[in-house]
Amino acid sequence: MSALTSYLDDFAIAPVCHDIQINGETVGLHESGILWWPDQSVMVVSDMHLEKASSYARRGVMLPPYDTGITLERLAAAIETFDPACVISLGDSFHDPDGSDRLPPVYRAMLTSLQLNRDWIWVTGNHDPIAPVRLCGETVDEISIGPLTFRHEPLQKTDRDVIAGEICGHLHPAARVRRYGRSIRRSCFATDGYRLVMPAFGALTGGLNVNDPAFHLVFRRRQFSVFMLGNDRLYPFTASRLIED
Amino acid sequence: MDSAVLPLRFQDWFSSRGWSPRPHQLALVDHLGRGDSTLLIAPTGAGKTLAGFLPSLVELEARAKLPPDSPGSKGLHTLYISPLKALAVDIARNLEAPVSEMGLPVTLETRTGDTPSHKRQRQKRNPPDILLTTPEQIALLLSDPVSMEMFRTLKTVVLDELHALVTSKRGDLLALGLARLRQICPNLRTIGLSATVAEPDDLRAYLVAQDVCGERQLSKVVQIAGGAEPDIAILDTQERLPWSGHSSRHAIGEIYELIKQHNVSLIFVNTRSQAEVIFQELWRINDDTLPIALHHGSLDVGQRRKVEAAMASGVLRAVVATSSLDMGIDWGDIDLVINVGAPKGASRLAQRIGRANHRMDEPSKAILVPANRFEVLECQAALAASRRGEQDTPPLRKGALDVLAQHVLGLACAAPFDPVSVFDEIRSSETYRHLTWETFEKVLNFVATGGYALKTYEQYAKLRKGPDGLWRIAHPKIAQQYRLNVGTIVEAPMLKVRLVKSKADGRRNPIGRGGRVLGEIEEWFIEQLSQGDTFLFGGEILRFEGLRENEAFASRSKSETPMIPSYQGGKFPLSTYLAESVRAMLADPASWQHLPDQVRDWLQLQQTKSKLPPRDGLLVETFPRSRYNYMVCYPFEGRLAHQTLGMLLTKRLERLGAKPMGFVANDYALSIWGLGDLSLLFETGRIDLDALFEEDILGDDLDAWLAESSLLKRTFRNCAVIAGLIERRHPGKEKSGRQVTVSSDLIYDVLRSHEPDHILLQATWNDAAEGLLDISRLSELLARIKGRITHTRLTKVSPLAVPILLEIGKEPVYGEAIDDILAEAADDLILEAME
């Protein structure tokens, strides 16, 4: 193989992340909706809500039973891209506390193979407050690595010294912009440089507009940016450019 | 037939009022007496309602003479079903008069969503002789094991406004309900009351049980010839006729004069925004402060009832209304109907005109006000159709699968069922006659476990098959869920419009608790407004202030010129029949003598500068203009079919290297523009027009487009709600937070990628092909023009093309096309064409 083709190959598979600073630490945001922290080789995924469809089916709402498969395939693609030493699943990994128990064998095997040769941390969430059953990995309520703290639900404070370095999920941020008279709504990362709210990764998880009052307790009004998930890139906007639902 | 078929008490009543029973009233008594279901076709004002109830009243009078407690001496005898609950209430009131005047021992009650629950409970135990209700209530009653019992004594079902009922999914729900009722009471007779329709046999078949293998079964029919011929004219405006647009502003002075000359006028328009504009403009010049009111479906209910009451009591001089006033209810003495804009269909026009002068012996008076030049042609065609008495009501629809799913669950809630006999029962209704066992099984599996190829939900099944082979609900909770979900009307997400003080008044925190609610407006419409934008609503110019939860806050604006909403909803497509008449008129200059001078001049100019669109073929014009090359064709198949065609042609032209940039469609024409020299490409044969319009465009191209378009998502949501896959949004529950509700868009994406053959996607496709995409008309068009496409190369825009080009930028443009030529001035365009 010539040097050039080898270079091009490397180039083609090198993941392109949008680098930002959180509490002085450089992390990458990826259009798949995961966070990549190259210095620590940590990949973060949030709000997968695995087995959401079957959770609904239990009470008679028969959603298509393909969500777990789709979500895990997306996760596998991200893990293959970044080959992280550690994966943090930032809470609401399963849609309900019995979700890990209901996980069909084929998906359990798939998840287990993704966990091979790397550390795996399950952060608890409000949907899954307990450790998943029959799965590897360590379960924690929150975890701090260097200047960053990973927890599911953001602290309801905006004091910068308190929340500096908080990486969280829970809110399923989504943003809407208007262009040429048509509006576009997408899941997004939301950050003010001190904390970061991750988009929901699950195939059947909707989003909450970042203009919703729930975000007033997380960011000072209009003082944050979002990175909307596109098909092959992220679209950054400042909060003032966003519209309500 | 003479009135001797009526009991003495009835004969006396008629003669005491100086009437004699009309022949059609006697004919119905006779048919029903023989056990025959009957369709009664009559224009408004023919005493249709009394005719519908007369057979029941006669039978109930006889029944009262039976010894009490003998079999068949009591219980529910007649069901009356109407599409509007207001109509049911109105009819009950009208019926009480003859009942009490004859001293008949008959009880009649209404049952709608508004009926208090204690009364509903009592009705189940002790039903009235005649119950007046809606299709949804029938579905609810049939799903309840207790209330089902009350149908055992049922003898007659009267279906009012049948022509309107059968065109929607409510008609499907009712068809299934009727099939069930026929099983419960095998000798059930039905009476359909209908306005004049194109295919009476469709309705006759709807009324009776079908034999799947045999010939189509038809009910008896009684038809009343039209009354006095209506007096219809097209407004011969002294003003300049607009080239495009739908506002009819030019004629407002003339409309006002007409109102002044008549006692009570009803002004019909096609869309809510038109209603708002006309109302606004009329009040602007209302120097005599005539009482003129506004009525449309999004106004607050209280407001609407007030207008209706004022109309009935005769204090109003005019009401501007949308189709919310199309149907049945009697509004008193209207002596003029003004139809603003194009009628869109000959039958639609006839029904609207029928609202004037509710007495059939006197002519109804109507005036048509076309809003632009093409609409003049359409009005002329509708007028001719009306004189010939021709009808263009749509053909009977095929029953929808989402409605079937809802019905199947309802059946299981009532009692365990055997799928084979239920399948036969369903196919005995005309609308579901075509249903295959395979599709039925898919629907059944969908209801039970979601119907997925991946069978993971057996343990959560809603329906289970017992060892006896019967299907039953797995848990009583399922029945509760079903009851919350009954019905086929899925409202677009609506926001309340609340009046507040303006931010512009300089208050720091402007949005307080707010004032009264003015009505409701679609979420998508509000989405495109920015704070400070002005819009017309409820007859006022409002300024949008912001959103709070589920309410849009707006203040009164002092602005003179609102940004007029371009509502997409409520636009009716041009009927096939009228389209054909317009094409025929265009192609035949001899027929232009009835047209106004301005329109005739316009068409003559088209004849000189370009060509006239042929009757059966297709005229394609190409010309350069500004930076682009334009292609305009005139299929006259309605906006929906044209939009679909525009999308597909744009894709093809892109592949052929013609570099299309966008397209725009209206009811009459389609225009595509782009960078490539279309004239040259067509003339040299580099692009073959016959191949471009080849019917195979509805194959792969259509599939490819739909796969990447989000167009069907709204349709899918409706199907998913009706079929019970996702729950209805109930008022007050929205606040639970959108991140926890399941978005139907996500479900759609998952199904399309993982189970493209799912029954709900099939239901969605059927809906879209009929409605949104109008595939059937498009395919008829492509077949019609095959080998008959004429290309004309022009150096500039033709007179006929001006209206469609003026719509660029007013109508939404789909697809990725860049529409950066919106700013082109309209007047330049017109001058160019006239030169």
Domain extent for B504: 494-556
Look at residue B181 and tell me whether its pLDDT is greater than 50: yes
User: For an interface test with B, which of A51, A63, A74, A126 has the most B Cβ atoms less than 10 Å from its Cβ?
Assistant: A63
What's the pLDDT score for residue B2? 66
Nearest-angstrom CA–CA distance, A149 and A139: 15
User: DSSP secondary structure string, B498-541?
Assistant: EE---GGG--SS---S---EEEEEEHHHHHT--TT-EEEETTEE
Q: Is there a domain that residue B186 lies in?
A: yes
Nearest-angstrom CA–CA distance, B583 and B568: 25
Do B813 and B669 belong together in one domain? Answer: yes
**All structural domains of chain A with their residue ranges:** 18-241
User: A205 and chain B: CB distance < 8 Å anywhere?
Assistant: yes
Size of interface A-B (CB pairs under 8 A): 96
Average pLDDT, chain A: 89
Compute the nearest-CA separation of A245 from chain B (Å): 7
Do B198 and B319 belong together in one domain? Answer: no
Contacts of A202 in chain B (CB under 8 A): none
pLDDT band at residue B552 under the 50/70/90 scheme: confident
What is the second-level CATH architecture of the domain A18-241?
4-Layer Sandwich (3.60)
User: DSSP secondary structure string, A138-194?
Assistant: EEESEEEETTEEEESSPPS---HHHHTTEEE-SS-EEEEEEETTEEEEEEEEEE-SS
Compute the nearest-CA separation of B416 from chain A (Å): 18
Q: Average the pLDDT over B430-437 and give the result.
A: 96
pLDDT band at residue B433 under the 50/70/90 scheme: very high
Amino acid identity at A131: A
Do B550 and B501 belong together in one domain? Answer: yes
User: A165 and chain B: CB distance < 8 Å anywhere?
Assistant: no
Nearest-angstrom CA–CA distance, B304 and A238: 44
Angle between helix axes B597-609 and B826-834 (nearest 10 degrees) is: 70
Contacts of A63 in chain B (CB under 8 A): 450, 725, 742, 747
What's the pLDDT score for residue B571? 55
Across the interface, of B528, B530, B746, the residue whose CB is closest to A204 is: B746
Nearest-angstrom CA–CA distance, A200 and A229: 11
Contacts of A104 in chain B (CB under 8 A): 456
Q: Quick one: what percent of chain B has pLDDT higher than 70?
A: 86
Do B781 and B743 belong together in one domain? Answer: no
CA angle B760, B766, B767 (to 5 degrees): 90
Nearest-angstrom CA–CA distance, B21 and B27: 10
Q: Per the structure block, which two tokens stand in for B702? A: 């259509």
The region of weakest confidence among A148-157, B363-372, B684-693 is B363-372
Contacts of B456 in chain A (CB under 8 A): 54, 57, 65, 104
List, in order, residues 6 or more apart from B808 with CB less than 8 Å away: B662, B664, B671, B819, B821, B822, B824
HEC sequence for B352-400: HHCCCCCCCCCCCEEEEECCCHHHHHHHHHHHHHHHHCCCCCCCCCCCC
Do B642 and B654 belong together in one domain? Answer: yes
The ipTM, to two decimals, is 0.83
Do B521 and B666 belong together in one domain? Answer: no
What's the pLDDT score for residue B332? 63
Do B736 and B654 belong together in one domain? Answer: no
Contacts of B739 in chain A (CB under 8 A): 171-172, 200, 205-208
Residue (of B626, B683, B619, B678) closest to B650 by Cα position: B678
Q: Which chain B residue shows the shortest CA-CA distance from A70?
A: B750
- Given B199, B223, B247, the domain boundary residue is B223
Look at residue B565 and tell me whether its pLDDT is greater than 80: no
Do B747 and B777 belong together in one domain? Answer: no
Do B81 and B166 belong together in one domain? Answer: yes
Do B315 and B427 belong together in one domain? Answer: no
Contacts of A66 in chain B (CB under 8 A): 452, 454, 750, 754-755
pLDDT tens digit sequence for B282-310: 999 999 999 999 988 777 777 877 887 88
List, in sequence order, every beta strand (DSSP E) within A90-137.
Answer: 119-123
CB contact under 8 A, B481 and A206: no
Look at residue B85 and tell me whether its pLDDT is greater than 80: no
CB contact under 8 A, B452 and A64: yes
Nearest-angstrom CA–CA distance, B195 and B190: 17
Q: Is there a domain that residue B176 lies in?
A: yes
Q: Is there a domain that residue B393 lies in?
A: no
pLDDT tens digit sequence for B738-764: 434 577 888 998 998 899 899 999 999
pLDDT tens digit sequence for B13-43: 999 988 888 899 999 999 999 999 999 998 7
Average pLDDT, chain B: 84
Amino acid identity at B186: P
Q: Is there a domain that residue B425 lies in?
A: yes
Q: Which CATH number characterizes residue B194's domain?
A: 3.40.50.300
What's the pLDDT score for residue B736? 39
Residue in the block written with tokens 């479900």: B747
Domain count, chain B: 5
Q: Which residue has the higher pLDDT, B757 or B390?
A: B757
Q: Average the pLDDT over A27-43 and give the result.
A: 96
Q: Is there a domain that residue B292 lies in?
A: yes
Across the interface, of B478, B547, B727, the residue whose CB is closest to A244 is: B547
CB contact under 8 A, A65 and B481: no
